[in-house]
Amino acid sequence: MITASAPGKIILFGEHAVVFGRPALAVPVTQVQATVTLAPLSEGSGRVKKRRANAQSASWQKKVLIEAPDIGLASNLFALSSGDPPHPLAFAATVLLSALEVDWLPPMTMRVHSTIPVAAGLGSGAAVSVAMIRALLAFLDRHLPDRRISALAYEVERLHHGTPSGIDNSVITFARPVYFVKDHIIEPFHVGRPFTIVIADTGISAPTKESVADVRRLWQSDAARWDKVFDKIGEIAQKARQIVENQDPSLMGPLMFENHALLQSLTVSNSALDRLVHAARRAGALGAKLSGGGRGGNMIALVRKENAPAVAEALNSAGAQRTIITQVE
Ligand code: PMV
């Protein structure tokens, strides 16, 4: 039996502007995890044969079962991978198998479990993909560098999210803070001094694809104006990286409020997010902003460690459906 896990994530700075080539920072959230467990169904099935792809290829897939009890899913790889679009769980498996040129697996169960809230901007989809890819690599006794694993998970992200920047799969694969510039730089970086973040979920599920499309429309309407906003967000992300690496993390607080205001101007905040940001500030948070696609999903607040429970409570009172306190180190 093989098990592999991957953490959730939050975007600290730079969402939306990252789609337009500006830098962003994201960090893993290790309190929540996606886990994939592979269990062979018959004796001696740990051995994997390599065969040429042929007309029988679907029949072995029927003996590979994918179970995700959290979402009430139990089906075989074939049924899930032949949908249009294919199911992301099956696609993560088949994308890896084809990259490895493996076209057969012994009968097995792939059991998927995740404590990462779904559709909340915490990267649940990318985490499940990365855990699936890692579990299969271990099962097949093969190795791929993190960059390849991240690129494969990106293929799965693309299936459902159109043209994601790739930040989710990067931070989740590296499981470290990442400085990211789309198509150019993925740099895991060092946290000089640990800091505490409270994550609060508005409970509103809002497709990132739509907010990304709306921001693009806005930009098309007046590129010069919105490019300046993206530039400011990018500069904030740059500054924040220096702070995280070398300075007192509380200096990030004002940058978070500033980044939130810029996201408001991009129309991706909403009243629930604004209310939570306001509540966090009143409860003594050093900084707060929406995180991810916006219009719902999560916001984050930078807090002094001892103040985290009080800020979480204030966020719950202001309507948060769930709060998570996480230490970034
Ligand atoms: O909603 P999330 O957490 O997956 O974040 C989306 C971040 C965006 O910058 C809005 C889109 C992207 O692909 O980077």
Domains of the chain: 2-180 (3.30.230.10), 191-328 (3.30.70.890)
Q: Give the pLDDT confidence score for residue 56 in this predicted structure.
A: 55
From 32-46, 91-105, 315-329, the region with the lowest mean pLDDT: 32-46
Residue with the smallest CA separation from ligand 1 atom 14 is: 165
Strand stretches in 14-100, DSSP E = 24-40, 64-68, 73-76
Residue 188 is classified by DSSP as: E
Over range 120-137, report the average pLDDT.
94
d(CA 258, CA 250): 14
Ligand 1 atom closest to 268 (CA): 10
Q: Give the pLDDT confidence score for residue 19 in this predicted structure.
A: 94
Cα three-residue angle 17-20-22, rounded to 5 degrees:
60
Q: Are 122 and 10 in contact (CB under 8 A)?
A: yes
Task: Pull the structure tokens for residue 176.
Answer: 């470290």
Q: Give the pLDDT confidence score for residue 47 in this predicted structure.
A: 47
Task: Pull the structure tokens for residue 180.
Answer: 């990211």
Question: Locate tokens 């993390």: which residue?
Answer: 249
22 Cα: distance to centroid of ligand 1 (angstroms): 13
Over range 200-222, report the average pLDDT.
93
Question: Locate tokens 């337009």: which residue?
Answer: 20
Q: Are 251 and 243 in contact (CB under 8 A)?
A: yes
pLDDT for residue 45 is more than 80:
no
Q: What are phi and psi of 65, to 5 degrees?
A: -100, 135
213 Cα: distance to centroid of ligand 1 (angstroms): 11
Active site residues: 168
Ligand 1 atom closest to 165 (CA): 13
d(CA 117, CA 128): 12
Ligand 1 atom closest to 164 (CA): 13
- Identify the residue with better confidence: 56 or 236: 236
pLDDT for residue 233 is more than 90:
yes
pLDDT for residue 50 is more than 50:
no
Bridge-partner residues for 185, per DSSP? 181
Q: Give the pLDDT confidence score for residue 281 in this predicted structure.
A: 98
Over range 22-47, report the average pLDDT.
85
Q: How far is CA 25 from CA 89, 128, 179, 283, in A?
A: 27, 21, 5, 25
The model carries a pTM of: 0.89
